[in-house]
C-alpha cells in the first residue's frame, strides 16, 4: 500500500515500521497496468477492489462491532440506484441528470441514511437476529426494486450509467478505472485501520466484547453501534457507485439475495479479523467467478457450476478455519515459528 | 388472553375494533358508496382469501423455522432450500405415482431424513456457535440451490391438483346482489380451502402437542434452558434431531403445497426464506402462535397490498416488520428473551 507510506511520512520512524510486504504489494499494485492487460485491470482488479470495499464495510461491522450485517450490499445498491436516478442514465424519463458534484454526495448521503436507519432497527436486537433482520430488509429492497417502476424502473433497472468526464479523463477506461478503484479501496482500507485505533473504534471493540461493561462505564452502546453502521454505509456506498459505473447499469439483480450472500462469503472467506481480509476474499471470489467457467468447460462440465464451487469452498472454510484465509495464514505462521524441539513459540 | 386485556385495555380495544371492522367488511354486503370508494367487494374478498391461504402456506414454512430456532438457536437459512427441494421431490413423486397425498408422505420422510443428517453430522459439531451454524446454513443454501438448478433446470413446475380437489367451491359469504335481488356468493378454489383448513388443524395439533404432551414439555423446557434439561437426564440430542427433522419435513411438505397452488422455480427458495424470516420477526422468534399470527398478517398485507397498491406491496410487508422491530423487538407474541 504505497499510499500508506505517503500519508505517514511525517514521522520517519513510522515509515520504517511499515512491513516490507506492504511496500512490495503497494509497488506491485501501482505498476500493475504495465503487467496486466485491460481485461485483468478492469474486470478482475476493478471488481476485486469494489467487492472488497463492500465486504470491508461488512468486515468493519462484524470484526470490530460484532454485528454481522447482510445489508451492506443493499446499501451499495441504494447508492448505485441513486447515482442512476439523480445522475444521468439511458432511462431519461426517470433520471434527473444532475451534475456530478450534486449526485455523488447525494447518493452517498442517501445510502448512508438508509444504512443508518436499518442499523437503528437492527441494533435493537442482538447476535444472529441481526443477520435475520438485515437479510429480511435486504431482500425486501430487492423485491421492491423489482416491483416498482416509478422510481426504480422495475425489472430492467437503469443502463448507460457512466462516470462523469472529470479532468478530461474517461474513467471507464481500464487504466483510469483501475486507479480510481484502487484509490477508493486504499482510502477505505486506511480509513478502517485509522478508525479501528481511534477512540471510537476502541470503544466499538469494547462494545463488541462486553456491552454491559461499556454501558456501565458510561458509553452509549446503541449510539456506538448505529454510528458504526453509518461509517460502514459510507464505505459500502462508495463501492456501490463504483460498481454501477463498472457495469454501466444497475438492476434488481445487482442487489439480489445471491449477491448479498456473496458479500458475506467474501468477508468470511477472507477473514473478519483484519481489513485486508475482505480484499483477499474478493480476489479469490473474482478469480473463481471469472475463470472457473472456462476451467469447468475444459473438463466438459457446464460453466454454470461455479456457484457450487463457491458454496462448497465457503462451507470448507467455515468448517475448518472460521477466521478465513487470514486465519489459515496465521496458523501456518504460528506453526512455522514454533521451535521443533521445545514446542513453544520462539 | 384475559391477562392481556387486563394489562393493556387500550390495545385490546383497538385490536378488537380492527377485527370487528375487518369481519364486518368481509361478511356485510357493501353499499354502492363503499364500492365506489374501495372497488368491488369480490376483489377485496378475493384478496383477503388469497392472503389467508398464503398466510397458511407461510405458516407451514415458518413454524418449522421458528421451532428449530427456538430450541436450537439455529437460524436455518437453508430452510427455503428445504422448501424448494420438497416441492421438486413432491412433483417427481406425484408425476411418477399420480398420487398427490402419497407425495406428502414421501417428501416429509425424505426431507426429515435430510434434516436429521444435517443436525447429526453438521450442527451437532458446532453447538453453541450460533454464528458459525448460520454461516453453514448459508453455504448449504448456496450449494443446494445450485444442485437443484442443475437437476431441475430453470423452468417452472406446477404440481397438478388432484381431481377431487379441483374446481371452485361456494362459500357462504355474500359478494353482492344480482339485479333481481338474489345474493351472489363467493366462489373460491376448493384446494386452497382444504389447505387452509389443513394448516389450521396442523397448527392446533402442534400447539396441543407442545402444550399437552410429554415430548412437547421436553421441547418447551429445552427452549427455556437446554443445559438444565440435558443435566436432568434428557437425551437432548435426540430431541434436537427430532425437532430439526420435523421442522425440515414441514418445510418440504409446504413445498408441495406451494407447488400446487403456485409454482416452483429457482428463486422461490429465497422468497420463502424471506417470508419465514419476516413472519418469525413479526410474530415472535420461537413461538408457534406467533408464527401463525405473523403468517396471517404478512399474507394479508402482501395480497391486499398487491391488489390496492401493486408496485408498493412489498413496502407494506417491510413497514409492518419495521414497526414491530421499532416498538416490540421481540415480536408480537415473543417472550421477553
Q: Which helix (H) or strand (E) segment is B84 a member of?
A: helix B79-97
Residue of A nearest to B271 (CA): A139
Domain ranges of chain A: 40-256
Picking from B138, B150, B298, B310 by the largest number of A CB atoms within 10 A of its own CB, the best residue to mutate is B138
**Is residue B258 situated within a structural domain?**
yes
Residues counted in chain A:
346
Out of B280, B312, B321, name the one closest to residue A148 (CB).
Answer: B312
User: What is the model's pLDDT at position A6?
Assistant: 53
User: What is the model's pLDDT at position A346?
Assistant: 47
Nearest to B319 by CA among B298, B335, B295: B298
Picking from B285, B309, B325 by the largest number of A CB atoms within 10 A of its own CB, the best residue to mutate is B325
> Inter-chain contact A149–B313, Cβ cutoff 8 Å?
no
Greater confidence, B296 or A160? B296
Picking from B146, B268, B276, B309 by the largest number of A CB atoms within 10 A of its own CB, the best residue to mutate is B146
**Is residue B130 situated within a structural domain?**
yes
Out of B138, B270, B322, name the one closest to residue A139 (CB).
Answer: B270
DSSP B52: H
Chain B: give the shortest CA distance to residue A193, in Å. 24
Chain A: give the shortest CA distance to residue B319, in Å. 10
Whether B141 contacts A317, CB under 8 Å: no
Is residue A127 within 8 angstroms of chain B, CB to CB?
Answer: yes
> Inter-chain contact B318–A140, Cβ cutoff 8 Å?
yes
Greater confidence, B107 or B8? B107
pLDDT, tens digit only, all 346 positions of chain A: 445 445 555 555 666 677 777 777 777 777 777 777 777 777 788 888 888 999 999 989 888 888 888 888 999 989 988 888 887 777 777 777 777 778 888 889 999 999 998 888 888 777 777 888 888 888 888 888 887 777 777 777 787 777 777 776 677 777 788 888 888 888 888 898 888 888 988 888 888 888 888 888 888 888 888 999 999 999 999 999 888 888 888 888 888 888 888 888 888 888 888 888 888 888 888 888 888 777 777 776 666 677 787 788 888 888 777 777 777 777 788 877 776 666 655 4
> Inter-chain contact A135–B131, Cβ cutoff 8 Å?
no
Q: Report the range of poorest mean pLDDT among A147-151, B138-142, B233-237.
A: A147-151
Domain count, chain B: 1
> Would you list the DSSP string of A120-146?
HHHTTS-THHHHHHHHHHHHHHHHHHH
> Inter-chain contact A128–B326, Cβ cutoff 8 Å?
no
* Integer-rounded Cα radius of gyration of chain A: 21
Chain B: give the shortest CA distance to residue A125, in Å. 7
Where in the sequence is the domain holding B47, given as residue range(s)?
A: 41-327
- What is the CATH classification number for the domain harbouring B258? 1.10.3470
Picking from B62, B68, B131 by the largest number of A CB atoms within 10 A of its own CB, the best residue to mutate is B131
User: Which residues in B lie closer than 8 A to residue A133 (C-beta atoms)?
Assistant: 277, 281, 325
Is residue A202 within 8 angstroms of chain B, CB to CB?
Answer: no
Q: How far apart are CA B146 and CA A222, in angstroms?
A: 39
User: Which residues in B lie closer than 8 A to residue A305 (C-beta atoms)?
Assistant: 146, 150
At residue A159, the 3 state secondary structure works out as: strand
Amino acid at each position: 500500500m504505497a499510499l500508506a507510506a505517503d500519508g505517514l511520512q511525517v514521522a520517519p520512524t513510522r515509515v520504517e515500521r511499515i512491513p516490507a510486504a506492504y511496500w512490495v504489494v503497494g509497488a506491485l499494485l501501482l505498476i500493475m497496468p504495465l503487467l496486466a492487460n485491460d481485461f485483468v485491470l478492469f474486470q478482475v482488479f476493478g471488481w476485486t477492489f469494489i467487492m472488497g470495499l463492500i465486504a470491508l464495510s461488512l468486515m468493519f461491522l462484524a470484526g470490530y462491532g460484532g454485528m454481522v450485517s447482510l445489508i451492506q450490499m443493499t446499501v451499495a445498491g441504494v447508492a448505485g440506484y441513486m447515482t442512476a436516478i439523480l445522475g444521468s442514465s439511458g432511462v431519461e424519463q426517470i433520471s434527473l441528470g444532475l451534475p456530478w458534484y450534486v449526485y455523488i454526495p447525494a447518493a452517498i448521503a442517501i445510502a448512508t441514511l438508509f444504512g443508518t436507519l436499518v442499523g437503528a432497527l437492527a441494533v435493537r436486537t442482538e447476535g444472529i437476529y441481526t443477520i435475520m433482520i438485515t437479510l429480511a430488509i435486504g431482500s425486501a429492497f430487492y423485491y421492491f426494486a423489482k416491483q416498482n417502476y416509478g422510481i426504480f424502473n422495475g425489472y430492467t433497472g437503469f443502463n448507460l450509467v457512466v462516470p462523469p468526464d472529470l479532468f478530461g479523463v474517461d474513467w471507464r477506461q481500464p487504466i483510469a478505472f483501475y486507479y480510481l478503484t484502487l484509490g477508493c479501496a486504499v482510502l477505505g482500507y486506511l480509513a478502517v485501520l485509522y478508525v479501528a485505533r481511534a477512540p471510537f473504534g476502541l470503544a466499538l471493540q469494547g462494545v463488541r466484547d462486553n456491552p454491559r461493561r461499556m454501558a456501565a462505564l458510561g458509553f452509549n452502546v446503541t449510539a456506538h453501534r448505529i454510528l458504526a453502521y453509518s461509517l460502514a454505509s459510507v464505505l459500502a456506498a462508495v463501492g456501490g457507485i463504483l460498481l454501477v459505473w463498472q457495469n454501466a447499469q444497475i438492476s434488481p439483480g445487482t442487489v439480489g439475495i445471491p449477491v448479498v450472500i456473496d458479500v458475506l462469503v467474501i468477508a468470511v472467506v477472507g477473514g473478519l479479523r483484519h481489513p485486508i481480509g475482505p480484499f483477499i476474499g474478493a480476489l479469490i471470489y473474482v478469480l473463481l467467478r471469472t475463470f472457473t467457467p472456462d476451467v469447468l468447460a475444459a473438463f466438459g462440465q457446464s460453466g454454470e457450476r461455479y456457484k457450487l464451487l463457491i458454496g462448497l469452498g465457503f462451507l470448507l472454510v467455515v468448517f475448518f478455519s472460521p477466521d478465513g484465509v487470514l486465519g489459515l495464514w496465521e496458523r501456518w505462521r504460528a506453526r512455522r515459528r514454533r521451535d521443533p524441539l521445545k514446542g513453544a513459540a520462539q | 388472553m384475559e391477562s392481556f386485556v387486563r394489562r393493556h385495555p387500550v390495545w385490546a380495544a383497538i385490536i378488537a375494533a380492527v377485527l370487528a371492522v375487518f369481519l364486518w367488511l368481509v361478511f356485510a354486503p357493501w353499499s354502492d358508496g363503499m364500492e365506489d370508494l374501495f372497488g368491488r367487494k369480490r376483489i377485496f374478498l378475493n384478496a383477503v382469501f388469497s392472503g389467508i391461504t398464503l398466510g397458511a402456506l407461510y405458516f407451514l414454512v415458518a413454524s418449522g423455522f421458528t421451532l428449530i430456532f427456538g430450541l436450537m438457536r439455529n437460524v436455518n437459512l437453508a430452510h427455503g432450500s428445504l422448501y424448494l427441494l420438497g416441492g421438486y421431490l413432491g412433483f417427481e413423486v406425484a408425476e411418477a405415482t399420480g398420487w398427490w397425498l402419497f407425495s406428502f408422505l414421501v417428501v416429509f420422510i425424505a426431507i426429515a431424513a435430510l434434516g436429521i443428517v444435517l443436525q447429526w453430522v453438521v450442527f451437532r459439531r458446532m453447538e453453541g456457535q450460533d454464528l458459525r451454524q448460520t454461516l453453514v446454513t448459508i453455504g448449504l443454501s448456496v450449494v443446494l440451490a445450485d444442485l437443484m438448478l442443475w437437476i431441475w433446470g430453470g423452468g417452472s413446475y406446477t404440481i397438478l391438483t388432484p381431481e377431487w380437489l379441483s374446481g371452485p367451491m361456494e362459500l357462504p359469504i355474500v359478494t353482492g346482489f344480482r339485479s333481481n335481488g338474489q345474493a351472489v356468493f363467493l366462489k373460491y378454489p376448493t384446494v386452497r380451502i382444504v389447505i387452509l383448513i389443513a394448516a389450521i388443524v396442523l397448527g392446533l395439533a402442534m400447539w396441543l402437542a407442545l402444550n399437552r404432551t410429554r415430548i412437547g414439555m421436553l421441547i418447551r423446557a429445552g427452549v427455556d434452558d437446554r443445559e438444565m434439561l440435558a443435566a436432568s437426564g434428557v437425551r437432548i440430542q435426540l430431541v434436537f434431531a427430532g425437532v430439526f427433522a420435523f421442522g425440515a419435513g414441514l418445510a418440504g411438505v409446504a413445498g408441495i403445497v406451494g407447488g400446487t397452488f403456485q409454482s416452483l422455480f429457482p428463486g422461490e427458495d429465497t422468497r420463502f426464506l424471506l417470508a419465514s424470516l419476516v413472519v418469525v420477526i413479526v410474530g415472535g422468534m420461537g413461538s408457534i402462535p406467533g408464527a401463525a399470527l405473523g403468517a396471517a398478517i404478512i399474507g394479508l398485507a402482501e395480497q391486499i397490498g398487491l391488489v390496492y397498491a401493486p408496485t408498493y406491496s412489498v413496502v407494506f410487508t417491510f413497514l409492518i416488520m419495521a414497526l414491530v422491530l421499532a416498538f416490540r423487538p421481540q415480536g408480537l407474541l415473543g417472550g421477553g428473551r
